[in-house]
């Protein structure tokens, strides 16, 4: 079994390690803006396994490795033997002989845990049904840029207590961001996620009132109500999330708040086109920071 350092959940790093990764992400962002080379992973290869499609995850990791002097290999489920029934542990041990790290974007969280157990190289969670820690890295970098730090920041999550919400909740606990999570009954965070946040010193406020959650917030964050694999629940979910849309009326409760969304957005559902195109939207800053934060993560894991 592996003793290599992996990144499957946002709290796989300590608060100090998280800040070090974010500092490095800022350095990479400045270096890119200044046109400076930063080929810290020259000659190294990242294997990228995709069971779920993605725009931001694929392009940010592949571009990031290129900028760091390395190479990324796209591995769709049907491109490798996983799609033909090869056990995860066999794919993991084989890829460990070829590449320096693996990023996997899969459905079941337990699958990436098995993959990491048998890998001899770092494994990064590019998204599972339970967690999206790479998104949280970018989110925290974006908030720190916006607010100048994490002290006294109040954030509100409005909508589904999904994988992005769960990683963000734990990330807020790691950085002492004051978080309120507003979800409809039956669509809240997993109990173990709330407990993990509390063990880290966080105290997320849980409510079913989006207006109360938004009131006075510095950052309002939302995501789609219907994630990949939930399409057959569309009608039920649309009814359940009525009143949870991030719109101009909701933003009137937080006149100074910036708006976040991990994308892709279903405009007209969880967020209006007006809001996402407004000067209060920082969603494309988040998207850009996926690149810088993931470069920092990989160089930290592989240094």
The model's pLDDT over 103-131, given as tens digits with 9 standing for 90+, comes to 999 999 999 999 999 999 999 999 999 99
Binding positions for carbamoyl phosphate are 54-57, 81, 105, 132-135, 262-263, 290
pLDDT value, residue 185: 97
Same domain, 197 and 294: no
- Give yes or no: 38 in active site: no
**Does residue 49 lie in a domain region?**
yes
Pairing of strands 154-158, 123-127: unpaired
- Total structural domains within the chain: 2
State yes or no: pLDDT of 214 exceeds 70: yes
- Give yes or no: 290 in active site: yes
Q: Whole-angstrom Cα distance, residue 21 to residue 26?
A: 9
Pick the catalytic residue from 24, 105, 144, 292: 105
Q: Whole-angstrom Cα distance, residue 268 to residue 274?
A: 9
Task: Report which of 95, 141, 143 is spatially closest to residue 120, judged by C-alpha positions.
Answer: 95
Same domain, 104 and 141: no
Pick the catalytic residue from 166, 290, 292, 294: 290
Q: Whole-angstrom Cα distance, residue 67 to residue 63?
A: 6
Same domain, 16 and 36: yes
Same domain, 53 and 105: yes
Same domain, 89 and 56: yes
What residues does 260 pair with on adjacent strands?
A: 221
Pick the catalytic residue from 141, 223, 245, 294: 223
pLDDT value, residue 84: 77
Q: pLDDT tens digits for 16-40?
A: 999 999 999 999 999 999 999 999 9
- Give yes or no: 172 in active site: no
**Does residue 1 lie in a domain region?**
no
* Structure tokens that stand for 210 in this block: 């989006």
- Give yes or no: 262 in active site: yes
- Give yes or no: 135 in active site: yes
CATH number at residue 21: 3.40.50.1370
Same domain, 40 and 125: yes
Pick the catalytic residue from 6, 24, 132, 261: 132
Model-level pTM greater than 0.85? yes
Residues 6 or more apart in contact with residue 288 via CB below 8 angstroms: none
Same domain, 150 and 273: yes
Binding positions for L-ornithine are 163, 223, 227-228
Pick the catalytic residue from 130, 262, 286, 292: 262
> Domain containing 226: what range?
134-287
- Give yes or no: 84 in active site: no
């Amino acid at each position: 079994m592996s003793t290599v350092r992996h990144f499957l959940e946002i709290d796989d790093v300590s608060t100090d390690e998280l800040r070090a990764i974010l500092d490095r992400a800022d350095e990479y962002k400045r270096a890119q803006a200044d046109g400076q080379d930063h080929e810290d992973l020259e000659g190294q290869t990242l294997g990228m396994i995709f069971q779920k499609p993605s725009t931001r995850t694929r392009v940010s990791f592949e571009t990031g490795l290129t900028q760091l002097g390395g190479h990324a290999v796209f591995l769709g489920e049907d491109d490798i033997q996983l799609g033909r029934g090869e056990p995860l542990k066999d794919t993991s041990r084989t890829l460990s002989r070829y590449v320096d790290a693996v990023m996997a974007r899969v459905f079941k969280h337990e699958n990436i845990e098995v993959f990491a157990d048998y890998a001899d190289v770092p494994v990064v969670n590019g998204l599972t049904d339970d967690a999206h820690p790479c998104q949280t890295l970018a989110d925290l970098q974006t908030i720190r840029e916006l607010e100048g730090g994490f002290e006294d920041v109040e954030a509100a999550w409005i909508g589904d207590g999904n994988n992005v919400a769960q990683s963000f909740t734990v990330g807020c606990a790691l950085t002492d961001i004051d978080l309120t999570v507003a979800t409809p009954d039956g669509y809240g965070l997993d109990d173990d996620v709330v407990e993990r946040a509390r063990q880290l010193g966080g105290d997320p406020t849980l409510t079913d009132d989006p207006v109360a959650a938004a009131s006075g917030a510095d950052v309002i964050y939302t995501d789609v109500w219907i994630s990949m694999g939930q399409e057959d629940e569309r009608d039920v979910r649309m009814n359940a999330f009525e009143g949870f849309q991030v719109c101009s009326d909701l933003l009137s409760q937080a006149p100074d708040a910036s708006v976040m969304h991990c994308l892709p957005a279903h405009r007209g559902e969880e967020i209006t086109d007006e809001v996402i195109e407004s000067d209060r939207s920082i969603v494309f800053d988040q998207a850009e920071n996926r690149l810088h934060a993931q470069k920092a993560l990989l160089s930290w894991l592989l240094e």
